[in-house]
Structure formats: structure tokens, C-alpha cells
Amino acid sequence: AHGATWYSGTANAVYQNIPFIESYNPKYVLVLSGDHIYKMDYARMLKQHKEKGAACTIAVIEVPIEEASSFGIMNTGIGDRIVEFEEKPKEPKSNTASMGVYIFTWELMKKYLEDDAKDPDSSNDFGKNIIPSMLDDGQKMYAYRFGGYWKDVGTLESLWQANMDMIDDISLGKPNWQILSRTSAQPPHYVGKTGSVKHSLVTEGCEIYGSVEDSVLSNGVIVEEGAVVRNSVVMANAIIRRGAVVE
């Protein structure tokens, strides 16, 4: 095709990159979401995928049943084989939620992507189209159970909550396998005589002359004398002026 078109869905995003993927001649393809926070050893998931001879393996996590209607729910049978997929069901049958992390056997995946691209009524989406099509065809699809921390940060509320989780040390920072953020190459943070920091994460380049509690401060933030920051996530280079209260 000539020219470029916007990705029309998650599956279409991969479909448009088939030539790039083919250049690696892969046997398996791992598909990930970009707005999730978690730490997973994908090699373990791939090992299960190979052992079961699966067409598709979907990482799942158990969520509170009262929250299950906000997720794509994978209902499983013997040996964790997926028997049904329900997208945000009003009355979920289980609490096994898809994490949006998939491993596909490439030759099969390619066929489904090409068939999906020919369907004018498709949303070109993995959850809405590709997964249900494969299930309907009786393909071998399995759930891979993940037990660690996972947060979908697709909303402001969830992004704030994930930052609050970081303050409480949710074991994403084990010394031998840390998640490291990009450094802004600024001097270390400075807390002045009038400044105080309690139960917070403060990045380099920050200057604290006021009070900071239960918060995450990005690089280069200045909190002036008399200013208060509580329960907040402050973006880079913001200035909290004297007398202001941010909560």
C-alpha cells in the first residue's frame, strides 16, 4: 500500500508491521500493552506456551470480583485452557482478567491478522476480534497466571494510585532487578532549612523549602517556603508557590 494510515486498532497496529516482523522470521511473537506497570519474566510464559503447543497464551491476573466487570475476563477449563472470553461482562463468571500480554505462534497469528484486515466490520482489536475468532475456531489458547504487581494506568486515577503504590514499596525495586527511570542529569535534590519531606519520592533537581508528605515529585520541582504538597503526583519543573496547598 502507498502512504501511511493511522492504526485502526491494536491488531491493525501489528498487521501494518508484518513486513518488519517477518524480517526476523520469528516462530513466536510477544504482544504487549504500553500503559501498564508490572515486572514479568516473559521467558516463563514462553516456556508454558511451547510446552502446551499453544496457538495463543494470554497472561492473566486475579482481580477482586467486584472489579471484574472492568476487565476482559478469561474463563478457563482443564489445564487453564481458555474456553470463553468476555469483554467487560456485567456479571462476570470469574475474576481471571486478561493483562493484555499475549504470546502467539506467528504463522497462525499472521493468518488471523490478514483475515481480520479483510473484514470491513472488524474493530481490528485483539480483545474484540482476534481472540474471539481464534476461540470460535477451537484454537489451543491458554491462560498464563501472573502473581505479581500489575496496574493498568489508562486513567488519571489509576496513574495516581500507581504512584502512591510506589511510595509504599510494592517490591518493584528489588536490588538485582530494578525498574529504572530515565535520569535528567540534574544535581541531587535539595531540602532547605525550612523544608521537610515525609514518606515521599523526590527526584533529582528538586528544591524543597516547604512541606512534602506522601507524594511523588518529578525532576526539577520547586516547593517554596510555606507551600504544602500532600498525596500528590507533581510533574517535572512545576513550581509550588509560597502559601499554596496542593493535595
Pairing of β 222-223 and β 207-208: parallel
**Cα–Cα distance for residue pair 142/236, rounded to 1 Å:** 42
Residue type, 247: E
The highest-confidence range among 140-154, 163-177, 179-193, by mean pLDDT, is 140-154
Query: Can you give the pTM of this predicted structure?
Result: 0.84
**Which pLDDT value is given to residue 189?**
96
**Cα–Cα distance for residue pair 172/83, rounded to 1 Å:** 32
Q: List alpha helices for the chain, DSSP H.
A: 10-15, 18-22, 42-51, 106-118, 131-136, 156-167
Confidence of residue 181 (pLDDT cuts 50, 70, 90): confident
Higher local confidence (pLDDT), 155 or 19? 19
Using one digit for the tens of pLDDT, what is the confidence trace for 114-123? 999 999 999 9
**Cα–Cα distance for residue pair 164/155, rounded to 1 Å:** 14
Confidence of residue 161 (pLDDT cuts 50, 70, 90): very high
Average pLDDT for 162-179: 77
pLDDT at 1 over 60: no
pLDDT at 4 over 70: no
- A 10 A CB-CB count for 65 gives 10
**Which pLDDT value is given to residue 170?**
65
Pairing of β 228-230 and β 211-213: parallel
Using one digit for the tens of pLDDT, what is the confidence trace for 90-99? 999 999 999 9
pLDDT at 203 over 80: yes
Question: Residue 134 is placed in which grid cell?
Answer: 481464534
pLDDT at 103 over 70: yes
Q: What percent of the chain has pLDDT over 70?
A: 96
Dihedral of alpha carbons 204, 208, 214, 216, sign: negative
SS (H, E, C) 123-164: CCCHHHHHHHHHHHCCCCEEEEECCCCEEECCCHHHHHHHHH
Q: What Cα–Cα distance (Å) separates residue 33 from each residue in 20, 54, 100, 118, 135?
A: 19, 21, 6, 24, 21
